[in-house]
Structure 1
């Protein structure tokens, strides 16, 4: 068995242990007295106006998913750019194909009206 797996397992167990320990200590030490202020909705120190249960248009969620998708894709493009000199023409064609698929997804979302706010 590789020593690297042992180290990774120890770090994973230590991470889980730290989270469980910190949560337990926090629950033991924190005050549990319920007050009117604690049960109110928090809005940056302002008194809440209206109900907190407001339906947002579906377009906001889809737009956010598009942002996350393209944000993650940037990570792949940057890592490709770092090793660009080591790649041959095949690597260049491969990233062009990747960008073409991204562009097609963006055109599809654009034509479906996802990028319109109103």
Structure 2
């Protein structure tokens, strides 16, 4: 009864065993050459300082907002692929649902655009 799933179960078991082995063996196999540069904190190529630098010590929030917007819209658009596969069999209900979904994404995009979230200062 479960014979068709045996290769899939074995593949997941092998992947899990490899992941566990890799994490467990890394401290023993990996190089142990520590120097000051490796142990020092790193922030986007800027030399870290113990005191904040006047006028340039903080990272601009625009980097993080841009990354979050990309992830948000990327994930939303990925959900369009399953619809594209079965769009013929969904009929009018599927069309209305996808139009509402795209309208929601469009509303979010226009909202971010009007608020200046896509501007790079």
The normalised TM-score by structure 1 is 0.71
Hey, what does 2:62 align to over in structure 1?
Answer: 59
Q: Matches of residues 61-80 of structure 1 in structure 2 within 5 Å? A: 61-80=64-83
- Return 30-39 or 91-100, whichever deviates more: 30-39
| 2:120 aligned counterpart, secondary structure | coil
Which residue of the other structure, out of 89, 92, 96, is the alignment partner of 1:93?
96
Hey, what does 1:110 align to over in structure 2?
Answer: 113
Q: Distance in 2 between matches of 1:37 and 1:116?
A: 35
| TM-superposed deviation, 1:22 | 1.0
Give the structure, 1 or 2, with the largest relative contact order (CA under 8 Å, sep 6 or more).
Answer: 1
- Show structure 1 runs of 5+ residues with no match: 43-47
- RMSD between aligned residues: 3.1
- Show structure 2 runs of 5+ residues with no match: none
| TM-superposed deviation, 1:68 | 0.9
- Deviations 1:6-42 (Å, cap 9, x if unpaired)? 9877665544332221122221122324234544678
